Amino acid sequence: MKVCIIGCGSMGLIYADLLLKTNTVENSNLCLIAKNEIHRDKLQLQKYSNIKFLDESNIHAADLIILAVKPQDFLSIKDKISGKINPKALVISIMAGISISSLQNNLLHNSCIRAMPNAPALFGKGMTVFCYSSALSEELINFGEQILSLTGKSIKTNDENILDLVTALSGSGPAYFFYQAKLLMAAAENIGMDLEMAEILVKQTLIGSAELVANTNLSLDQLVNTVASKGGTTEAAINHFNSSGFEKIIFEGLQKATQRSKELAQELL
């Protein structure tokens, strides 16, 4: 199998590394597309052996093309690859906001998957939701799922509209947890703890909590209840969150992010 990755920034290289690490593809069959000589030289200093600039020959040879450029760079690459893709090849795009029909129309290629991964993909702990073109065979859907699952969990859907909410929830999600952790640190400092100590406590609590979620069958409600005993300290904080409209703020934040995802997609049209 020959794989071509266009856009070798943080996400593109995650796929490159996982494809090599899992022996899904051999180094010589993994073609990384560099944007310019500086980018190529940077990639060459790493472990990759096959780095090219975008042209017809490396596109046509690929059985799988992963599009991992920023959405606004799609227009600059599409002219070079439109109509040049092997009709049997699968195109997986992780670009936010570029629809399946836009991929198909701009690339003149039918077999497309549109996926929304997230940053923990770096450690194989990612969450990807993907949808696929209606013409895609079961075999190519399964193949695409296998590739996307290298980065963690994946869910397929035939409802493309849900991808805006997915972008807002799991795509942006890691930042929401980091943001809350930062607020907890600042609050602890204000109440009287040294910031360095607060950072250790908050980060380790975040890591430990994720492990708990990952390694138990308990629901999130049950997990809250295992920590929050009646009349205790956790309950005091949670009661305050509840009576101060925290739930509404989270709901509205998610709504805003979903709306922004829709707007960005419109701006790209």
Give the interface with ligand NAP as residue ranges (CB under 6 A).
6-12, 33, 35, 39, 54, 68-71, 73, 76-77, 94-96, 116-119, 171
| Nearest residue (CB) to ligand NAP, 128 versus 133 | 128
Work out how close the CB of 83 gets to ligand NAP at its nearest, in angstroms, rounded to a whole number. 17
| Nearest residue (CB) to ligand NAP, 20 versus 268 | 268
Q: State the residue number with the nearest CB to ligand NAP.
A: 9
| Nearest residue (CB) to ligand NAP, 109 versus 171 | 171
Name the residue type at position 144.
G
Work out how close the CB of 7 gets to ligand NAP at its nearest, in angstroms, rounded to a whole number. 3
| Nearest residue (CB) to ligand NAP, 37 versus 138 | 37
Work out how close the CB of 33 gets to ligand NAP at its nearest, in angstroms, rounded to a whole number. 5
Work out how close the CB of 39 gets to ligand NAP at its nearest, in angstroms, rounded to a whole number. 5
